[in-house]
Amino acid sequence: MCLAACIALLCPVLPSCVKTAEEYGEGYFFDSSAADGGDGSYSHPFNNISAAESLDIAAGESLYLKRGSNFVGSLRLIGLAGTEEEPITVTAYGEGEDPKIDGDGLEGSGVVYIENCSNLIVENLDIFDSVTTEGDRRGILLDATNPDNEDDGEAGEIITYSNITIRNCYIHDIKGYLDAINNGMDWASKMTGGIQFWSTDGGGRYDGLTITGCEIYNADNVGISSNRSNGSSNPYDEDFADHAYLNVEISHNEIHNIGKNAIFVRNLYGGVIEYNVVHDTSVRCYTGNSIVTRNVDGTVIQYNEGYNNMARKNDMPGSNKGLMDGCMLDADLQSRNTIWQYNYSHDNSFGLFLNCTGSSGSDKDSKDVAIVRYNLSVCDKGNKGVIYINYYSSGIEVYNNTIITGADTKYIFQANDSRAYHFYNNVVCNFSADARFDMGDMKLGSADHNLVYSVDGASIKNLEQILDSNTSLTLNPKLENVIGGTLESRIGMENALLFCSLLPDSPALDGRYAVPVEGIEYDFCGNEYRPSLGCYCG
């Protein structure tokens, strides 16, 4: 349950939590236990959320849903236009648990449906669907359209909708399409789940969309996802920024028990995905990376924790799918100029990062560039690779990461032939007796200035592929804490700080062994940058 809901449970013992009618701002009130015939006032609230669609809601007004209420159906918010100074707010009031909205088998829309709104805040709601069969379902759906578009398939002038915030909502038990036999590759399955935002007719987009402080639990097939907006979805087109979603922030959310992906964003120009905790992903769909970008330019993914990605071979009768995606982070097709930094990956089926940026297997001239730096991987299983360079691109920079393997880690780093990458300034501390590097033919790839060490009883196959006698080391990195314990003992960023810290005399801290890098102010632990190996500067 979200923090806001937990706080709400304490309010009955705190007199200051309870407001009188006069203390609420202008707006309309909803109470599922109220009598029929209400007018939306505090003393005579509506008892059905369907009344919201017929209201003329002005800037600065609010929709108040009473805590302890249990509404059924869809809350539809259409064409609401607040201002930056006076947004329209949908929120909870009163005492008890946050108001619940049950979609009750709703298909083709969202339990909360937001169409063509600007300067809107939706907060403190408990959103779910009590039907457990698969369907075309979403917890929250945001749709940006151009109402003047004709039904001829041609998109007209694009309309930008601004400043929408979804915060402190609990979205759970949304049974969308799994398409498990096909590993969730069918488009219909990718468009169901917890929160989706898109443009149905290609006539609208968002500038300023924030999803923060939410918990998304038990959703199929995706936790949070965006789909295409107006015009071209190609980040190499000159007008991409004129059509893409701008200023998108997805932060401080917990997303877990998800059929496939926790977060999958498309068509972002810039934007940030940060401080999220994503775990227990690929639970029912056999495959799926936890945080994925596609058709984006300049998006930053940082300070996230991801664990227990459960990707595995699809053993459903009739399926021909092998062991596929299972990383915490995935730069998917045409993820241009993305930065993946300060993330904590542990106990995932694959590991930290997977590159699928090329637009096709034969596109050797793809200009998709990613930077993967100052991340920490602990006890990732390495199926296909803790880091896996899969598709063609013009270059993947992988530096100053720390990888601490577990006893069952398989591939530490894997690259297909003729892949362009530079793997440097990394620390690998190996606890596996059967780990390996597979760097491909290294015609376009290189590895230097790394520290790779195996503890007693552990070993790495193909170690010579990344060791350069002049620049790379096989010395003990002198971790401050020896890895061990259970998955539970590794959960939380506070534990990440323990695992990546080094003793003062660690050779990884000796700047003589490192390549200086630009654009970095701090290491994984917040220490001031200095040339070193791994994610910790000390």
The type of residue at 13 is V
Residues 137 and 81 reside in one and the same domain? no
CB 254 within 8 A of CB 276: yes
Please tell me the predicted confidence (pLDDT) of residue 164. Answer: 98
Q: Do residue 51 and residue 137 come from a single domain?
A: no
Q: Is residue 83 part of a domain?
A: yes
In a domain, 325, yes or no: no
- Domain membership of residue 300 (yes or no) is yes
Q: How many domains does the chain have?
A: 3
Q: Which of 269, 290, 311 is the last residue of a domain?
A: 311
Residues 257 and 381 in one domain: no
| b (16+ CB within 10 A) / e for 240-253 | beebbbbbbebbbb
Question: Does one domain contain both 76 and 171?
Answer: no
Q: Is the pLDDT of residue 224 over 70?
A: yes
304, 172: one domain: yes
pLDDT at 9: 40
114 domain residue, yes or no: no
Confidence of residue 202 (pLDDT cuts 50, 70, 90): confident
Domain boundary among 262, 289, 311: 311
Based on the domain organization, do 372 and 242 belong to the same domain? no
- Same domain, residue pair 75 and 208: no
Write out the residue range of the structural domain in which residue 41 sits. 1-105
Residue 155 and residue 165: Cα distance in Å, rounded?
26
pLDDT of residue 481: 85
Bond before 163 cis per omega within 30 degrees? no
Do 96 and 136 belong to one domain?
Answer: no
Pair 160, 278 in one domain: yes
Last residue of a domain, one of 295, 311, 327: 311
Mean pLDDT of 456-464: 95
Domain-embedded: residue 321: no
Task: Note the maximum CA span of the chain.
Answer: 82
- Both tokens of 404, joined, read 């601490």
The CA distances from residue 405 to 119, 211, 305, 331, 456, in Å, are 46, 33, 17, 22, 14
**What single letter denotes the amino acid at residue 249?**
E
Domain annotation covers residue 316: no
SS3 state at 23:
helix
The residue ranking higher by pLDDT, 243 or 111, is 111
pLDDT for 54: 95
382 and 275 in a common domain = no
Note whether 366 and 392 are within 8 A (CB): yes
Q: Which residues partner with 193 through β-bridges?
A: 138, 222
**Is 11's pLDDT higher than 50?**
no
Query: Residue 17's pLDDT band (boundaries 50, 70, 90)?
Result: low
Name 135's Cβ contacts closer than 8 Å, sequence gap at least 6: 105, 107, 175, 176, 177, 192
516 is a domain residue: yes
Q: Do 136 and 285 reside in the same domain of the chain? A: yes
The answer for residues whose C-beta is within 8 angstroms of residue 105's C-beta and 6 or more apart is: 129, 130, 131, 135
| Rg of the chain, C-alpha, whole Å | 25
Q: Is residue 29 part of a domain?
A: yes
- The single-letter code of the amino acid at 180 is A
pTM: 0.94
Say if residue 161 is in the same domain as residue 92: no
Segment among 140-149, 363-372, 465-474 with least mean pLDDT: 363-372
- Residue-level pLDDT at 18: 62
Residue 368 CA to residue 350 CA, distance in Å, equals 22
